[in-house]
Amino acid sequence: MTAPMTARLAPLAALLALSGSALAEAPDPVAVTVTDKGCEPASLTVPAGKSVFRIRNQSRRVLEWEILQGTLIVEERENIIPGFVQTLTATLQPGTYAMTCGLLSNPKGTLTVLAAAGTEAAGGPPDPMALVGPLAAYKHYVAGQVGLFVERTRAFTEAVKAGRIAEAKALYATARQPYERIEPVASLFNDLDKSMDVRADDFEQKEADPGFIGFHRIEKGLWADHSTEGLGPHADRLMADAEELKRRITDLTIPPAKMVGGAAGLIEEVAATKISGEEDRYSRTDLSDFHANVEGSRKIYDLLRPLVERQDPDFVARTDRNFARVEALLTKYRSEDGSFAPYDRLSDRDRQALKGPITVLAEDLSTLRGKLGLD
């Protein structure tokens, strides 16, 4: 391998080595409760290394709990149902982090990670070079998709600003597709993800909240209000955010665990929340988002497939079948021009028929990180 190539791969190898360290037994779970007003406690302190967080949702809405370093999402647990508890295992370096605490209008919590002896593990990391190839290929895929996202978002926002409602409606779903394919990476940037893809339910005042912006605010204007009045500033902000996302991704070294975990994360989100129709509630273009999520997950899986097949060929055969089944179900609702049927045309029985296979696929893909030594 040439010296320049070695230098380019060094950040990936370092990340892989870090991901494979700290394999010792985790300490007792750290409890945190999220209410309608915030986190209890609002401040946590843990030692460096592996920690297990036990998150209880005592609010009235499904939520995600995130650990942030600046605007970058370090770890997250999504789709925690009211009244339920989920755990999150995170290997953290010393420093000060933020915690999201339910509604975006709620104050963030503080997580302090202290340097401590004995946090390094006895186990060895996975071979760093085994994942370098898939990571490089995925970075190339993400770069292509974010470029397409910027291009399509520009066409969409120009139609919105020009008041061409029919054209804007036609461009809405296709503009979102590249973003949905690379959501594991795009959503690493907490500020941009919340700006572009926030839903009204994330705010106490819902649609009336001034923080409700981005795709879904414009979607509401086009389908619910039947007007582009007042959408110009939202369109400009969305376009600026798309370009900023492209800039940040150019300089990003994708964390291995985020890529691998993203295969399951994309499908889990569909099964847990999107299947209800809460995503594109005004346009009913949900199936387009579902399909893009499946495409993005499939891309990650295909890149990792040769590594997993060596140790678990039965898993690969089963996952291949599960992907084929989900893709076949989605194809039933797709017309010859590539568009999908409005989601409100599907019956409850149709939605349940989708949810079963999607849930099974998500459960299998959730084991990928463990199979590759990244848990």
- Distance (Å, rounded) from C-alpha 375 to C-alpha 373? 6
Task: Give residue limits of the domains in the chain.
Answer: 22-114, 138-253, 255-276+283-375
Render the burial of 213-226: b for 16+ CB within 10 Å, e for the rest: bbbbbbbbbbbeee
What is residue 126's predicted lDDT score, i.e. its pLDDT?
44
Identify the architecture of domain 255-276+283-375 in CATH: Up-down Bundle (1.20)
pTM of the complete model: 0.77
**3-class SS at 329?**
helix
- Domain 22-114: CATH superfamily, name plus number: Cupredoxins -  blue copper proteins (2.60.40.420)
CATH dotted code for 138-253 = 1.20.1420.20
Beta bridge partners of 77: 65
- The mean pLDDT values, 10 residues at a time, for the chain of 375 residues are 44 48 59 94 90 93 89 86 90 89 90 69 48 93 98 98 98 98 94 94 92 97 97 98 97 91 92 88 96 97 92 93 95 92 94 92 92 80
Q: Are strands 49-57 and 30-34 parallel, antiparallel or unpaired?
A: parallel
Same-fold call for 22-114 versus 255-276+283-375: no
What is residue 297's predicted lDDT score, i.e. its pLDDT?
97
What is residue 20's predicted lDDT score, i.e. its pLDDT?
45
